[in-house]
Each structure stands twice: as C-alpha cells, then as structure tokens.
Amino acid sequence: MINSEAVVSIAVIGLIVSIGVGIPIAFSLLFITSAAVLHFWGPQGLLLLYSSVYGEGTNFLLLAIPLFIFMANMLKASGIANHLYDIIHKWFGNVPGGLAIGTVVMCAIFAAITGISSVATVTMGLISLPEMLKRGYNKTIAIGCINAGGALGILIPPSIIMVLYGAVSGASIGHLFMGGVIPGFILCGFYVLYIGIKCFFRPELGPPGKETYSIKEKVLALKAIALPILLIILVLGAMYFGIATPTEAAGIGALGAVVTSIVYKQFSWKELFKVARDSANLTCMIFWLIFGAQTFTSFLAYAGIQDMLQQYFLSLQVNKWIIMIFIQFVFFLLGMFLDPAGIILLTTPIFAPIVEKLGFDLVWFGILFTINMEMAYLTPPFGFNLFIMRGIAPSGVTMRDIYRSITPFVILQALCLALVMVFPEIALFLPKTMK
C-alpha cells in the first residue's frame, strides 16, 4: 500500500526541483511520473502512462485546439493587424486617452479573432505602444492597456484555455465560450472606463490628437476587420444555436480564415505552409503539456491522492464559499509561477469534483478560473504578458515601468472576478439560453 503523504511529498518536491533547474514543465511531469511509476509498480506500471496518453490524445474535443490555432494564425497572416492603428486613430485619436481606449477595444476584437493572449499583446504592442509614447502618453497607461487588453484573449471566445478546461473537467466547451462573452466585455468596459475617467481629469496622461474624421471615413476604416468579425460571429453562432460542436465550429473557422486570406489578397501557398508549420509547433507544445499533466494526475488518482484531497476538503466544517475563495487564492498563487494551461491540467482533476459536490456549476467555475488566469498573465514574477512586453517594448521602457503599469488593471480583474462570483448569472445567462 502506497503512503499517500509520501507520494505527494516526493512528487511535488521532484516537480519543483525539475522545473527549477530549467526542465520544461511538460517533460518535468513526464519524468517525475515515469520515475514514480517505475519505483512503485515496476515496468508494467508504464502501461498507466500509455493508456493515459492514448486516451487523451484521441479525445475528439481536443481536435478543436489545432483548428482554432490555425484559424488565429491564418487571420493574423491576412494582414488585418496593419489596419488596426488606422482604425484606432480615426475612431479614438481625438479623445483624451483615446489611443489607449482604442487599443483595449482592438485587443478585445483580436481576442475574439485569435483566442490566444500573446497574439494580441505582441500585435498591439508593436503597433500602438510606439505611437502612444511618441504622442506623450504616460507609460503606465500605454503599457498597462496593452498588457491587460491582450489578456482578454483567454476570456473572450474562442479560447484555447477554455477548450483545455472543458476537455479535462467535462464542462461543455460551447457553454464555456458563451459564458465568457459577458464577463469579457464587462472587463473590457472596466478598462475603458478607468482609462477614460483618469485621462478626462488628467489629459496630460493621454493627450488627445487634433485630427478629426467624418463618420464616413470612420466607417470605411472598419472594412478591414469586417470579414474576420463576421467569421467569429459565424463560429460562435454555430455553437450557440446548436448547429455545430466546438470542434466542428473550429473547422468552420479554419476554412473561413483561409477564405478571408484569399479575399484580402494575402493568400499564398508559402504563407499557408508557414501558418500550418507555426500552428503545428504550438499544438505540439500544448499536447506535450497535456500528456505530461494527464499522466501525472492519473498517477495521483491511482495512488489515491485525489480522493484523499477531495475527502479532506469536503469534510471541512466551513461554508462552501470559504472553500471556493481558497481555491481562487490557490489559482492566483500558482498563476505567479506556472502557465495557465499547466495549472488547468494539474488542478482541475482535483478541484472540479470538489466544486461539483459542493453544488457549484462547472461552467461558472471555469469562467472564474479563466478570469483568475488573466491576472496570472499580468502578475510578477513570471507573468507571461510582462515578458512579452519587455521583449517588444521600445528602448526607454524598463521592467519597473512594466510592473508598475499592471497594478490598476489587476485590481479591475479582481473586481470582475468578485462580481462574477457574487452574481453567477453574469457567466451563466448565455449558456442557459443555448440550444
């Protein structure tokens, strides 16, 4: 009989050490799991690893991941990023803080187009940040709006993080997508209000431009993103009305992205090959992470660790909301050090059954998790968007500037998290109306 406490101690210490010496988390998980299985059950125990990897690798739901990644990369290759600043400039340029407000709005649109945080952060960082700094924008406003706006990519659907959570927890991916819509736009609205109010009272933080444009010029500028937005509406609409599963909708989106590239005259076989290669690289990275986490959690489950933790939490004589708040705090701490995908795969098999037995909705819990992971992208020491920004920021922008910029936006994210916790219908209204 395996001593559960010893297993937890050995596994956790081993995982921390292997990650600490620089081994990627996916291979750290596989290494620790393989060593533990060989020690406790011998070579025949490796069948546990095989069955875990095979079962997860043949999960039809996970086929949506490469398709959504391909869709995102193909739309990015269609050249729409080149027109984003023109849209921001014409619609928001003459308002105090307008370029920062427009950047947040474009990040929300890019979030719906790509479903990946880094794409919006890199794109808007390269396009908008130099222009805002050149026009005298305060560094905190200029950098913070891009970091926070880019993080919307995992909350506003389609979202790769939600696909992973749904596949692991068993929650409907379509319901998760719809559940992220209202919180995503609420959070975007928080950012816009914060920037608008602050720059209204202190215009020197975001000086307005002097150029003015007619309504016709503004509307014509939108044509550059009209087709991608229609494609997103088609993809989400197909899921909302029950016409297609998330995987089928991802297939529609991938084909639609190719058509969009052809319509915008950006298509070439060379570009298609590059997009396919980049999508395959990112997909392989994600799937290695999935395989590592799946084998690790399968080992913990077989060793009885998950049952032990679930029984412990459920036996606590405290209000269930205390447990929920504690879980969110755990997510917040883990988000400072680990990638959101890794956190999903490591914690969901443990926390999802507890949440369900406490009477909470798994879709609602998934939205809370996703908002929490938005904070993870912005919180030091290892906030993913912070390091992306450091890599693309112009000279003169320091890491201290980047850290200072995210504080008000993390507070707004925490406010949104609390709002969705107190009013679950914010996340559950649209899923309940789906066919």
Mean pLDDT of 293-304: 75
Positive/negative CA dihedral, 317, 319, 324, 328: negative
pLDDT at 372: 94
Q: Which residue in 113, 133, 134 sits closest to 123, CA to CA? A: 113
pLDDT at 397: 82
Q: Which residue in 58, 64, 390, 93 sits closest to 217, CA to CA? A: 93
Measured in degrees and rounded to the nearest 5, phi and psi for residue 238 equal -60, -35
Asked if 325 and 372 touch (Cβ cutoff 8 Å), the reply is no
Q: Which residue in 329, 340, 427, 430 sits closest to 376, CA to CA? A: 340
SS3 379: coil
Which pLDDT tens digit goes with each residue over 208-217?
Answer: 877 778 888 8
Confidence of residue 7 (pLDDT cuts 50, 70, 90): low
Measured in degrees and rounded to the nearest 5, phi and psi for residue 60 equal -60, -35
Percent of the chain residues topping a pLDDT of 70: 95
Q: Which residue in 328, 414, 313 sits closest to 358, CA to CA? A: 313
Which pLDDT tens digit goes with each residue over 342-368?
Answer: 788 778 888 998 999 899 999 999 999
Mean pLDDT of 91-104: 86
Residue 95 is classified by DSSP as S
What average pLDDT is seen over the chain?
Answer: 84
pLDDT at 414: 95
Percent of the chain residues topping a pLDDT of 90: 23
Mean pLDDT of 43-48: 78
**Would you state the structure tokens that stand for residue 79, as one six-digit string?**
């050249």
CB atoms inside a 10 Å sphere around CB 47: 11
Q: Report how far residue 7's alpha carbon sits from residue 30's, in angstroms, rounded to the nearest whole number.
A: 15
Which pLDDT tens digit goes with each residue over 238-260?
Answer: 888 888 888 898 899 899 989 98
- Checking if the pLDDT of 327 tops 70, the result is yes
Which stretches within 115-245 are classed as H helix?
A: 117-134, 139-151, 160-169, 173-201, 215-221, 223-240
What's the predicted TM-score (pTM) here? 0.83
Q: Report how far residue 259's alpha carbon sits from residue 111's, in angstroms, rounded to the nearest whole number.
A: 20
pLDDT at 82: 67
pLDDT at 1: 44
Residue 395 is classified by DSSP as T
Which pLDDT tens digit goes with each residue over 268-277?
Answer: 899 999 989 9
- Checking if the pLDDT of 280 tops 80, the result is yes
Mean pLDDT of 164-192: 92
CA geometry: angle 259, 262, 268, nearest 5 deg: 120
Confidence of residue 410 (pLDDT cuts 50, 70, 90): very high
Q: Which amino acid is at 78?
A: S
What is the end-to-end Cα distance of the chain in Å, rounded?
48
Mean pLDDT of 91-106: 86
Confidence of residue 393 (pLDDT cuts 50, 70, 90): confident
Asked if 373 and 343 touch (Cβ cutoff 8 Å), the reply is yes
Q: Report how far residue 329's alpha carbon sits from residue 392's, in angstroms, rounded to the nearest whole number.
A: 31
pLDDT at 118: 66
Lowest mean pLDDT among 22-36, 269-283, 291-305, 377-391: 291-305
Q: Report how far residue 388's alpha carbon sits from residue 188's, in angstroms, rounded to the nearest whole number.
A: 21
pLDDT at 3: 58
Asked if 177 and 158 touch (Cβ cutoff 8 Å), the reply is yes
Which residue, chain included where needed, has tokens 């229609």?
Answer: 230
Confidence of residue 225 (pLDDT cuts 50, 70, 90): confident
Confidence of residue 178 (pLDDT cuts 50, 70, 90): very high
Q: Report how far residue 108's alpha carbon sits from residue 152's, in angstroms, rounded to the nearest whole number.
A: 6
